[in-house]
Structure 1
Amino acid sequence: MLGAKPQKRRDDRLIIHFDYDCFYASVFENENPSLKSVPLAVQQYEARRRGLHKLQLINEAKKIVPDVVIVLGEELGRFRDASKALYNFLAAFTWSGKVERLGFDEVWMDLTDIVDFNISLLNPHDLEHSFFQLQRDDPTTGFSFNATKIAGQVFGTPITSANPNQDAENNLMTRLTLGSHLAQHLRWALEEQKGYTSTVGISSNKILSKLVGNLNKPKDQTTLLPPYAISERDVQSGMESNVTTFIDSHDVGKVPGIGFKMSQRIRNHVLSRPADFETGLIYGGTKESVTVRDVRLFAGMGPELLEKILGGPGAERGIGGKAWNLMNGVDDTDVQQAKKVPTQISIEDSYIRLDTMPQVLKELRILATSLLKRMHTDLLEHDDDPDSVIGKRWIAHPKTVRLSTRPRPPLNADGTRSRPFNRISRSGPLPGFVFSLREEFESIIEKLVQETLVPMFRKLHPSPRGWNLSLVNIGVTNMVETASEDGKGGGRDIGRMFKRQEEVLKEWKVEDKDIPPDPLPVAEENESHSTEQTDPSAGNEVLDSIMNGSEDAIQPTQTSVEEQGIWEDDEDADEGQEKCSECGAVMPAFAMPAHERFHSFEE
């Protein structure tokens, strides 16, 4: 293999990639089985078989298939619910919990631990009658299988030449064999219990498992056979590993992790000119395929050259080396557990022509409505607090809203128009009223559009005319998790905190009440300096000293008069004063609510 060597591949894992067949159509078909026999517009199987393709205009679709059934798929709630249910079903079979969703209809599973455990249980003298144990502590839960054969389809043929890594290849082969039988068991269980068929790829990393699973669609599985690496002698003799042979045939733009812009730059460099595209106002494929093999064998190609091609302002550091590894089937990223809170939520749509402000306002309202519905679905959970009026609470608050557009470039001199690739974006703080659960939904949408999105749009496009948009995207990001019962949230729910504190400390709560002091003793006659009877109101002076500082007592100020009767005689001074019905204290009206709360604490 020419060029610099890629990073060494990790082949000690077993990763399978699930792709639910015709997921969007299957959701509708599970709701209404009668749709299975018609060319459903959201379906990518029967409709495509009859000549329709993704993102085709409805008018064109009806010309090709007049009896096509159009099903509105803009409401994503049913798809999201189905995707979560299927994810949870598959996750229940794992031990590590490493199950990662990609969109609604794709899932990676890292099954290394369960497969390696079952390898240790194999009886080498009776591999044909092996038993796959699905639970560590229950040897009766599982299924029988033939460990001498791989289940399903395969790609590649074993290389018979001497391989210094033969032991590692043998271990990988055993791991892939057991993984293929487990994948088949999961596919059958998914179809039998949930009614969804799937296509599966089995390999040692995410990129290879995803790509190899595309070979035998629908309703099948494919395992990428070893060897994944070969000796230098075999390389010099012109031999290739199964990984190289497999991935070389792919167009560079089909390699996961190499996006559209990246692949276009690589194509332009290899062709020494811009690549030609199919005609199409929305999305169109390239007419000139540049394969991974074309790139790999290009003179001087390697991580350094790719860094020059793909690098620049805003590019990921080391992007050249990453792209080079991906084109050689090297992907050491781990399968991640699905997060409770997404990193961002975005809604976008493509347009043949969007060039007037009334059109933009209409589309902004539509996109903002879909975005807020998504936020309610993904970021709201049931609130079991008995004092909650709404019954729901936010599990996260996105702090940033982003508006992106993709303007079409002006016409060229020959009347053609270059295909637009670049988006322009504007971000700002997401207003707090978006999180209101009491305000009318439509009112929130209109405020969001008028007060936030329209000003952002005008900053993106200062001129009121002359622009023509092919795409508009609205998204929220910068998620901050709120408080949760398990303490994993990033924020604080102050109301719940005080309520919980009051409940915990209730046992040690001390009642704080004003208790009149004991009556003052009457002085004995022989101890008194006067023979007059003691004034019973004298004790009030002591009470006043005790109450000093309390809001029950009106303390003298520099402008007050202490003579008895002044407050009653001065009507102007008494204006605005109120008397407490509980204790008789007189105070300004503005202080009365706080004083009443003081009495409520005594109850």
Structure 2
Amino acid sequence: MANKYLPARRDGRIVIHFDYDCFYASVFEAKNPALKSLPFAVQQKQIIVTCNYEARRRGLHKLQLIKDARRICPDVIIELGEDISQFRDASKELYGFIKGFSWNNKIERLGFDEVWMDVTDIVDYNVALLNRNDLENSFFQLVQDDPTVGFGLDATVIAGHAFPKDYVSDPHSTNVNELTLRLRLGSHLALYIRHQLEQQKGYTCTVGISTNKLLSKLVGNLNKPKGQTTVMPPLAAVDGHVSNAITFMDDHEIGKVPGIGFKFAQKLREFILQRPPEFDDGLVYGCTKEKVTVADVRNHPDVDAQMLEKLLSGPGSAHGIGYKMWCLLHGIDDSEVSAARAVPRQISIEDSYIRLDTMPELLKELMHLAQSLLTRMRIDLLGEDDDFESQDDQPADQDITSVSNSVSVEGKKWLARPKVLRITTRPRQPLQPDGTRQRSFKRISHSGPLPNFVFRLTESVDALAEKLVKEALVGLFRKLHPEKAGWNLSLINLAVTNMAETAGDSKTANGRDIGCMFRKQEDVLRDFRVTDADTPPSSVDVKSEHIPDKSSIAKKSIEEAENVMFDSDEDAAWDDGEDENDLDECCTICHLRMPAFAMGAHQRFHLQNSD
């Protein structure tokens, strides 16, 4: 019998998970709102990558073949979604909008359509402001230094749905559990952000609220679309109470739990079933036909953290993987919501194929993927260059924008430079004697240094992609597949990793940008600068100037010479490194500058010439 100890829970955070509804389709619907009421789908290759809820109501679904979709719903409207730049741009815009509500900058994006937001600080701040005797008329402050910016709320109730469905609380109770109160405020903040996102950007989303990333991501799925759900206490099984977190997790299929990948899920299914599970047939890799739930694994008499460590550990697996999986089965996830980054950790592009096994086909696909990868690098890794001068100051024959392949690089600089280039492939398994083929999800990869020429902004993406294929990618591919043909690949992925951020102002930047710092110095120090402005001398009209007589010039010359002799010794005691020009004198007649000790002789020269 296994040791069924319960991992310790840490439920001090409030985490919101945003999942944009039918994101790919929503990007098209934002441009053409009429599509919202029609069956609409987005196509990549020969399958539907997403469809709106009207299309789903008529029997369409993700990863469905186009021919099947048209047969089931003849009036479906289909748009090509091969160019993902429009989806990436929309995702970045929405991410920036949600980020504007964060105080601690802990906001993490997952793919194009999911965002986690840790709102612990803003929720705790507002909990401290609540009047416990009048929770119905509460106010949520959105800006820390401005108490007038925010919205009203009823803190006695949850906003949206709750798990479990039969959850009830006494709205008139003054002895409210602290976690319950914090989750209520988190749900009201999530509702406010959802409504602002729809009103200002035209996108709807589904939201989950809980105390960690795992629960917040999964619980939002209960009320799609345009809904939100909060996992309510008790989350820990103490004092005879049933844990709502464990109850919620138990019904999930093991492969649907974030953090349990395909390989681990397969091992767990095989352990519970004592045989390999069956999969759906079809062109697209199907799901398992046999459902193995979290409860099946967690309640198995032989399963505990140590047993999972033995079952799942292997070459390349992280230490303590068994304990991590045991925690996930109990709805425990202590991973932090990563702080927003100026640049991504890696950039990757991939495509799938029915069969790819000849060199001409490979070169064509590598060229296409390399173009997409370099274009994506320019979109995600270029930022404004403060040192940039306008195009008018550059040579007429250097048109940087024209060589960028639709991505403007004018006035841009690299915010980060990836160091590693990686290629990944997925070969199909050979046919078995009975003519069947065992499904394989195994990927193999090889990495190498990323050539520096990819950062040249004066060359086109096409030219750089062709050079990258010839000088780097083909060599990396041959490390994986030395055969000349017959690889039978179903997938190729290209990626750049190991981002080295350049100097800048972000927290993750590699040092400070000295040039930018000096340019900002004038504005930063303006209020602290003390200026000593000299009054300029009045202009002198030489023509009308009175020329002194001989006796006055001679007398003045003798006095100035004496002053120089004594004053210079006195000054030398304080500063023996003064500039010689500091002792220069200017002739009042010819305005010639000369050392003071020579001025007497020069004045006598004028007297002699005037005789």
Q: What letter matches 2:460 in structure 1? A: E
Partners of 1:158 and 1:226 within 8 A in 2: no
Aligned equivalent of 1:118, options 126, 142, 163:
126
Q: Which residue does the alignment assign to 1:152? A: 160
Residues in 2 aligned to 1:352 and 1:284: alpha-carbon distance in whole angstroms: 15
Q: Quote how far apart the aligned CAs of 1:274 are.
A: 0.9
Q: What letter matches 2:204 in structure 1? A: T
Moved more, 320-329 or 141-150: 141-150
Q: Taking structure 1 as the reference length, what is the TM-score of the superposition?
A: 0.76
1:87 matched to 2:95: yes
Aligned equivalent of 2:359, options 349, 357, 360:
357
Aligned equivalent of 1:61, options 42, 57, 69:
69
Aligned equivalent of 1:207, options 208, 214, 234:
214
Deviation track 1:57-92 (CA, whole Å, cap 9, x = no partner) reads 333332333333222222222222222221222222
Residue pairs, 1:162-201, within 5 angstroms: 170-201=177-208
Partners of 1:206 and 1:333 within 8 A in 2: yes
Partners of 1:406 and 1:422 within 8 A in 2: yes
Deviation track 1:164-220 (CA, whole Å, cap 9, x = no partner) reads xxx998111111111111111111111111111111111111100111011000001
Q: Quote how far apart the aligned CAs of 1:408 are.
A: 0.6
Change (3 A) 1:159 1:2: farther
Partners of 1:157 and 1:242 within 8 A in 2: no
Partners of 2:386 and 2:516 within 8 A in 1: no
Residues in 2 aligned to 1:329 and 1:124: alpha-carbon distance in whole angstroms: 31
Residue pairs, 1:155-554, within 5 angstroms: 155-156=163-164, 170-231=177-238, 234=240, 240-387=242-389, 390=400, 391-484=411-504, 489-490=509-510
Deviation track 1:17-71 (CA, whole Å, cap 9, x = no partner) reads 1111111111111122233233222234233332222232333332333333222
Change (3 A) 1:382 1:121: closer
Change (3 A) 1:228 1:397: same
Residue pairs, 1:563-574, within 5 angstroms: none
Residues in 2 aligned to 1:48 and 1:28: alpha-carbon distance in whole angstroms: 17
Q: Quote how far apart the aligned CAs of 1:136 are.
A: 2.7
Q: What letter matches 1:273 in structure 2? A: R
Per the alignment, in what secondary structure is the counterpart of residue 294 of structure 1? helix
Aligned residues: 489
Q: Which runs of 4+ in 1 moved over 6 A?
A: 157-160, 491-494, 496-500
Residue pairs, 1:29-44, within 5 angstroms: 29-42=29-42, 43-44=51-52
Partners of 1:157 and 1:225 within 8 A in 2: no
Per the alignment, in what secondary structure is the counterpart of residue 148 of structure 2? strand
Residues in 2 aligned to 1:178 and 1:497: alpha-carbon distance in whole angstroms: 41
Residues in 1 aligned to 2:193 and 2:506: alpha-carbon distance in whole angstroms: 32
Partners of 1:396 and 1:481 within 8 A in 2: yes
Partners of 2:163 and 2:231 within 8 A in 1: yes
Change (3 A) 1:462 1:168: farther
Q: Which residue does the alignment assign to 1:75? A: 83
Moved more, 119-128 or 342-351: 119-128
Q: What letter matches 2:227 in structure 1? A: D
Residues in 1 aligned to 2:350 and 2:5: alpha-carbon distance in whole angstroms: 40
Residue pairs, 1:581-592, within 5 angstroms: none
Per the alignment, in what secondary structure is the counterpart of residue 355 of structure 2? coil
Change (3 A) 1:487 1:53: closer
Change (3 A) 1:422 1:374: same
Deviation track 1:245-273 (CA, whole Å, cap 9, x = no partner) reads 11000011111111111111111111111
Change (3 A) 1:344 1:305: same
Q: What letter matches 2:448 in structure 1? A: G
Change (3 A) 1:486 1:211: closer
Partners of 2:39 and 2:52 within 8 A in 1: no
Per the alignment, in what secondary structure is the counterpart of residue 134 of structure 1? strand
Partners of 2:505 and 2:513 within 8 A in 1: no
Q: What letter matches 1:13 in structure 2? A: R
Q: What letter matches 1:130 in structure 2? A: S
Q: What letter matches 1:381 in structure 2? A: G
Partners of 1:380 and 1:395 within 8 A in 2: yes
Residues in 2 aligned to 1:287 and 1:172: alpha-carbon distance in whole angstroms: 39
Q: Unaligned 5+ residue runs, structure 1?
A: 161-166, 504-603
RMSD: 2.6
Change (3 A) 1:121 1:420: same
Per the alignment, in what secondary structure is the counterpart of residue 335 of structure 1? coil
Moved more, 289-298 or 457-466: 457-466
Q: What letter matches 1:188 in structure 2? A: H
Q: Which residue does the alignment assign to 1:551? A: none
Deviation track 1:554-576 (CA, whole Å, cap 9, x = no partner) reads xxxxxxxxxxxxxxxxxxxxxxx
Partners of 2:36 and 2:52 within 8 A in 1: no
Q: Which residue does the alignment assign to 1:16? A: 16
Residues in 2 aligned to 1:50 and 1:354: alpha-carbon distance in whole angstroms: 35
Deviation track 1:314-351 (CA, whole Å, cap 9, x = no partner) reads 11111111111111111111212221121111011122
Per the alignment, in what secondary structure is the counterpart of residue 417 of structure 2? strand
Change (3 A) 1:365 1:55: farther
Residues in 1 aligned to 2:292 and 2:189: alpha-carbon distance in whole angstroms: 36
Residues in 2 aligned to 1:44 and 1:355: alpha-carbon distance in whole angstroms: 36
Residues in 1 aligned to 2:145 and 2:417: alpha-carbon distance in whole angstroms: 41
Partners of 2:349 and 2:369 within 8 A in 1: yes
Per the alignment, in what secondary structure is the counterpart of residue 219 of structure 1? coil
Residues in 1 aligned to 2:185 and 2:12: alpha-carbon distance in whole angstroms: 14
Q: What is the identity percentage for the equivalent residue pairs of Structure 1 and Structure 2?
A: 61
Deviation track 1:251-301 (CA, whole Å, cap 9, x = no partner) reads 111111111111111111111111111112332100111100000011220
Moved more, 38-47 or 434-443: 38-47
Q: Quote how far apart the aligned CAs of 1:93 are.
A: 1.6
Q: Which residue does the alignment assign to 1:576? A: none
Q: Unaligned 5+ residue runs, structure 2?
A: 43-50, 169-173, 395-399, 401-410, 523-611
Partners of 1:94 and 1:111 within 8 A in 2: yes
Residues in 1 aligned to 2:161 and 2:28: alpha-carbon distance in whole angstroms: 29
Q: What letter matches 1:67 in structure 2? A: D
Q: What letter matches 1:32 in structure 2? A: N
Change (3 A) 1:129 1:491: closer
Change (3 A) 1:251 1:168: farther
Residues in 2 aligned to 1:367 and 1:356: alpha-carbon distance in whole angstroms: 16
Residues in 2 aligned to 1:436 and 1:386: alpha-carbon distance in whole angstroms: 16
Q: Quote how far apart the aligned CAs of 1:230 are.
A: 2.1
Residues in 2 aligned to 1:497 and 1:205: alpha-carbon distance in whole angstroms: 39
Moved more, 308-317 or 122-131: 122-131
Change (3 A) 1:187 1:387: closer
Change (3 A) 1:488 1:246: closer
Partners of 2:341 and 2:508 within 8 A in 1: no
